[in-house]
Chains A and B, each alone.
Chain A
Amino acid sequence: MPPENLKRILMVEDEPDIRTVAELALEAIGGYELTACESGQQALEQIGECRPQLIVLDVMMPGMDGPATLKAIRSLPDYANTPAVFMTAKVQSDEVQGYLELGAAGVIPKPFDPLTLADQIRDIWNEACAIG
């Protein structure tokens, strides 16, 4: 089955600059619809409206961090299997392994390049679809 087209992405990132760059990278360049939230709490409030096909999470955030947010999202029946991607400045391979074990479809190291972020996301999406 050719992968369903990715359109709606939910991003949780506490830093406003990165949210803005990501909007630019994913909306203007990637052509996706991005809902960018500043906290896990906000993500949980907006997820129903955004209905994301893919979720991008910063790992380290004040309050609810990325893994905690993912856990909360996974407890919602509609999003139990939605592919999730972690973004992190720490990329030691054992940590990456840990995120993948949490059920992440991929890990994007920070800093990311705004011009290729959309490609990275698309690759992860295609792969996630291929694996099903």
Chain B
Amino acid sequence: MPECPSSEVRKKLEILRNRFQDKTIGDIEGLVASIFSASMRPEAVSELVAAYQLLHRLAGSAGTLGFTQLGEQARKLELAIKPLADQVTEGAEREYVQQQLKQLLASGFEKDLLGLGSLLGVADPVSTGWHKPLPVESVNRFVLLILDPDHQYRDLLAQGLALYGYEVRSLSSAEQWPSSMGDVDLVMIRDTLLQDESASWLARLHKLPVICFSEAHDFATRYRLARLNVDACVDGLLDIPSLADLVEQLLAEGLATLSGKVMIVDDDKELLEHYRVVLTSGGMQVRAFDDPSRMLSELAEFRPDILLMDVQMGQYEGPVLARMLRFQAEWLSLPIIFFSSEADRDLQLDVLARGGDDFVTKPVSDEYLLRTVRIRCFRARQLDKLVSLDSLTGLLKHALAKTELNREHARAARSGHSSIVAMLDLDHFKRVNDSYGHGVGDMVIKALSNLLRHRLRSTDIIGRYGGEEFLVVLPECTLEKAVKVLEALNQDFAQLVFNGGSEEFAVTFSAGVASLNIYETGEQAIDAADRALYQRKRAGRNGVTVADENHS
């Protein structure tokens, strides 16, 4: 969700409210006049229909604009007048309706009606409430389906993977897979269930990532599995962390190809619209415009993965624009792709030299355009990840995590919400590395990373801060909630069983937590969380400790 300073929205609401007030004064005057004229002249009773509609409208809108009392009163009057309006519409005798209206007015309706205008002076304070981000513990859960005849194995697997935040369903055979179960994101299947290649359910695997449990390593079996669209093969050992890692990878690959952000600049409006429609319908996010002079502001706002533009647009030359963009370090790595109608090799080389990355020769088919753009976006995102994400864990690198923390510190100070910083550190990690080797150690680090990523919100900031140390920032979260979430993570992580060659083992972590708000700088908040972490370490590790300053 885009960041939106609440003061800005409040200001706009204030303006709207004033406008509504001005307009509604006249509406109410008209309403009063028409109801009175209906009570006096039978010819005018037809005006009751419009009066009813106006009251209905006010009942629905006044509250939204901050005039709750006016809205409630209008609702009351609306209900009272509705039977009369209905009679008018049904063609009842006018005098009869007029008679009832008179009675209604005498029974208090008149007083309420005349008081309506004054309620326009009673506005609620513009709410300071703000949209609630997702609750800390709620996450979008992926659904995994396990198909394996061995129910014990199935259950253990399901329990283990559930700890990573996946929703796991398990069945003993694919025949039991109900056609109504269409929300599965990934399938894990025992190779013996793939014997019958004529089974109709096999088609359901085509669109999903598939992991096969198979102990067979011979060429023929593996080739057959690959042909059946299996994406990955693991032997049946119960190594949950590695399996969770594989699941994570396969799901991420599926997601990465889904979308991307493209900006298109072309002075041919119809063509522009055509590109926009093609790419949008292909699932891309598109920002398209025909005036290159808007480029800088649009770029800053939209932050596309790639930029597509025409070589010549009116008075502007595409390659010059590309060179201009490269003035700003920000756009140095933005892939720029040109549309060019001429297949002129020299011109194309010239353009590449001046800051473009590639060409699409016009006319371009819709399918080609979409595929090119998809691939480019995917690559651009991968590159971007390489630069900013830790290669082992896929979490933010140290420096970037800190930048994000400082940004959140500023945001919290501005809007007054409470945010939390936590430092996490694996307990006795050196022993893991020494006893089982670095490969196993890396697996433990990855397991905690994946657990954090799955169980925290997508808006939370998670960084690998040092070797086995992690930085977590929970925006718009209370201290109590943060401690609860971290304690749950702590317990679940301790239950993961790692495979250290000859033996199985478990690892725990310690965490220190501090409120971002009560410190003057983000740096100080990190230090406080760090101190809390070391208190926890001294107090016996494996748990969550809150920084001293936060107890009051």
Contacts and interface: CB of A to CB of B under 8 A. Distances in A.
Contacts of A29: 4, 9, 131
Contacts of B53: 60, 62
B13 A21 contact: yes
A127 interface: no
Given A17-B19, A89-B59, A132-B182, A28 B64 contact: no
A74 interface: no
Contacts of B9: 24, 28-29, 115
Interface in B39-74: 53, 56-57, 59-65, 68, 71
Contacts of B57: 15
B106 interface: no
Given A21-B16, A31-B1, A114 B131 contact: no
A113 B126 CA distance: 10
Contacts of A18: 60-61, 64
Contacts of A112: 63-64
A2 B131 contact: no
A132 B183 contact: yes
B132 interface: yes
A116 B129 contact: yes
Nearest to B124: A113
B140 interface: yes
Given A24-B16, A28-B8, A115 B140 contact: no
B298 interface: no
A88 interface: yes
Contacts, number: 90
Nearest to A110: B60
A51 B278 CA distance: 13
Contact of B140 (A2, A21, A31, A89): A2
B183 A17 contact: no
Contact of B60 (A89, A113, A116, A132): A89
Interface in B506-525: none
Nearest to B68: A111
Interface string B118-148: 0000000001011110000000111100000
A97 interface: no
Nearest to B129: A115
Interface string A75-113: 000000000000111000000000000000000001111
B213 interface: no
A113 B64 CA distance: 5
A119 B8 CA distance: 19
A115 B127 contact: yes
Interface residues of B, number: 41
B20 interface: yes
Contact of A30 (B75, B131, B140): B131
B4 A113 contact: no
A118 interface: yes
A3 B185 CA distance: 12
B414 interface: no
Contacts of A88: 60
A28 B129 CA distance: 15
A87 B63 CA distance: 14
B131 A118 contact: yes
B26 interface: no
Which of A1, A60, A62, A89 gathers the greatest number of chain B CB atoms within 10 Å? A89
B12 interface: yes
Which of B2, B56, B61, B185 gathers the greatest number of chain A CB atoms within 10 Å? B61
B61 A17 contact: yes
Contacts of A28: 4, 8-9, 12
Interface in A49-78: 51, 58, 60, 62
Given A31-B2, A89-B60, A111 B16 contact: no
Nearest to B64: A111
B120 to A, nearest CB: 13
Contacts of B19: 17
Interface string B7-34: 0110011001001100100000000000
B280 interface: yes
A58 to B, nearest CB: 8
B383 to A, nearest CB: 23
Given A1-B142, A2-B142, A51-B280, A111 B12 contact: no
A3 B8 CA distance: 30
A51 B4 CA distance: 25
Interface in A27-44: 28-31
A128 to B, nearest CB: 13
Given A24-B9, A24-B12, A89-B75, A1 B183 contact: yes
Contact of A89 (B1, B56, B143): B56
Contacts of A3: 140
8 contacts: A15-B60, A15-B61, A21-B13, A28-B8, A30-B1, A51-B280, A89-B56, A89-B59
Given A1-B143, A89-B75, 7 more contacts: A7-B285, A21-B13, A62-B53, A110-B60, A112-B63, A115-B130, A119-B132
What 3 A-B pairs are tightest by C-beta distance, nearest first?
A111-B63, A2-B140, A110-B60
